[in-house]
Amino acid sequence: MLSRLPKQSDPNVLIGFESSDDAGVYRLPSGQAPNLALVQTVDFFTPIVDDPYTFGQVAAANSLSDVYAMGGRPITALAISAFPNTGKDLDILEAILKGGLAKMQEAGCTVIGGHSIGDDEIKFGYAVTGLIDPARLLANSGAKPDDRLVLTKSIGTGIIGTAIKKQRASAAAEAAVVESMCALNMTAAEIALGFPVHGATDVTGFGLLGHARELAVASEVSLEIDSREVEFLPEALDYAREGFLPGGLGRNKEFIEPCVIFENGVPEAVRNLLFDPQTSGGLLFSVEASGAAGLVESLREHGIPARDIGKVIEKTSPLIHVF
């Protein structure tokens, strides 16, 4: 659909929607702000946890993630909310707003306004603006052959979320998924800028393989992913085996599977987790091989469960090889 829209022409657009990147990047006129560009993104969704304050936190962390994936620093945000127009339960909306604001304050990002509409289904999120030096931009088109792939968060939020909705998830699993979704990617992005990272993306609704595909397509490379090195959230593998699969997982699989080949030894539950849509997932870095171990070590020293999960190779078919 986007390919059929009229073409835009603005030399200051460094990254638009054509490359399916995480955020748009617009260079400010050099006379006003040399070596400075805006990073802009928007994201909102329906509640994925019962507690409204926590939902606000997750929505904020998820919205901020796209700016971090570009190597940017978020500065301002506009809240977007849809809430039943009944005049009742406004304490729920207040709690959502407070949770989101707390997470924005943690990120050093100022909420300067927003917009709300009446809707029977609650939705919440933010449009976020950040700043970036174009010379330090991390796009999804920068991956190079022989790079290593470093993932900063564990996988499984969609499957555990489905188990929670079915009232089958344990308290420990629920606590782990909430902690992961509320964790900002701020520190991971800051650390990455000190290493030879060539490209990056965040792992959200299209799942690990979906966002890996975007990285591969934009960079004109192929990827090898070692599924044994991908870390899953507690009990996510058990729930995958039991069939707690969100609807988005099936849609991801239908779209992405044709460009992926799995080795026979990769279990079906693991395959499903690699397609699992993530909420406020981690960052996926394509980093020069010489710096990969140091990046992982530095991330883990800061409490980030980073793992080296594979490598970038010359473009071939299939686009992604999972073993």
pLDDT at 38: 96
Residue type, 300: R
> Residue 2 — pLDDT band, cuts 50, 70, 90?
confident
Q: Is 262 helix (H, G, I), strand (E, B) or coil?
A: strand
Structure tokens at 180: 């992961």
- Are residues 103 and 169 both part of a single domain? no
- Are residues 145 and 98 both part of a single domain? no
pLDDT at 295: 98
DSSP 198-242: EEEEE--TTHHHHHHHHHHHHHTEEEEE-GGG--B-TTHHHHHHT
Percent of the chain at pLDDT exceeding 70? 99
- Are residues 184 and 284 both part of a single domain? yes
- Are residues 151 and 6 both part of a single domain? no
Structure tokens at 252: 């991801």
Contacts of 253 (CB under 8 A, 6+ apart): 272, 275
CATH code of the domain in which 128 resides: 3.30.1330.10
pLDDT at 19: 72
What average pLDDT does the segment 115-144 reach?
95
Q: How do residues 235-244 score in pLDDT, each as one tens digit?
A: 999 999 999 9
Of 311, 236, 310, the closest CA to residue 267 belongs to 236
Of 75, 103, 135, the residue at which a domain comes to its end is 135
- For the chain, the average pLDDT equals 95
pLDDT at 199: 96
- Are residues 192 and 283 both part of a single domain? yes
Residue 18 confidence (pLDDT) above 80: no
Residue type, 187: T
What one-character DSSP code corresponds to residue 177?
H
Q: How do residues 154-179 score in pLDDT, each as one tens digit?
A: 999 999 999 999 999 999 999 999 99
Residue given tokens 């260079």 in the structure block: 27
Give Cα 167 distance to the centre of its chain.
Answer: 26
CATH code of the domain in which 220 resides: 3.90.650.10
Q: How do residues 22-65 score in pLDDT, each as one tens digit?
A: 899 999 887 666 689 999 999 999 999 999 999 999 999 999 99
Backbone φ, ψ for residue 130 (5° rounding): -130, 175
Q: Taking the chain, what is the end-to-end CA distance rounded to the nearest angstrom?
A: 33
The number of distinct structural domains making up the chain is 2
Structure tokens at 30: 């050099």
Does the bond joining 246 to the residue before it have cis omega, within 30 degrees of 0?
A: no
Q: How do residues 189-245 score in pLDDT, each as one tens digit?
A: 999 999 999 999 999 999 999 999 999 999 999 999 999 999 999 999 999 999 999
pLDDT at 212: 98
Q: How do residues 251-284 score in pLDDT, each as one tens digit?
A: 999 999 999 999 999 999 999 999 999 999 999 9
- Are residues 175 and 126 both part of a single domain? no
Of 96, 118, 135, the residue at which a domain comes to its end is 135
- Are residues 190 and 296 both part of a single domain? yes
Q: How many CA atoms lie within 13 A of 294 on its CB side?
A: 12
What one-character DSSP code corresponds to residue 132?
E
- Are residues 85 and 144 both part of a single domain? no
Q: How do residues 78-127 score in pLDDT, each as one tens digit?
A: 999 999 999 889 999 999 999 999 999 999 999 999 999 999 999 999 99
Its domain, for residue 61, covers: 2-135
CB 89 within 8 A of CB 122: no
Q: How do residues 55-81 score in pLDDT, each as one tens digit?
A: 999 999 999 999 999 999 999 999 999
CA atoms of 307 and 161, how far apart (whole Å): 23
From the number of C-beta atoms within 10 Å of its C-beta (0-12, 13-18, 19+), residue 4 rates as: exposed
Of 116, 135, 154, the residue at which a domain comes to its end is 135
CA atoms of 28 and 209, how far apart (whole Å): 34
Model-wide pTM > 0.85: yes
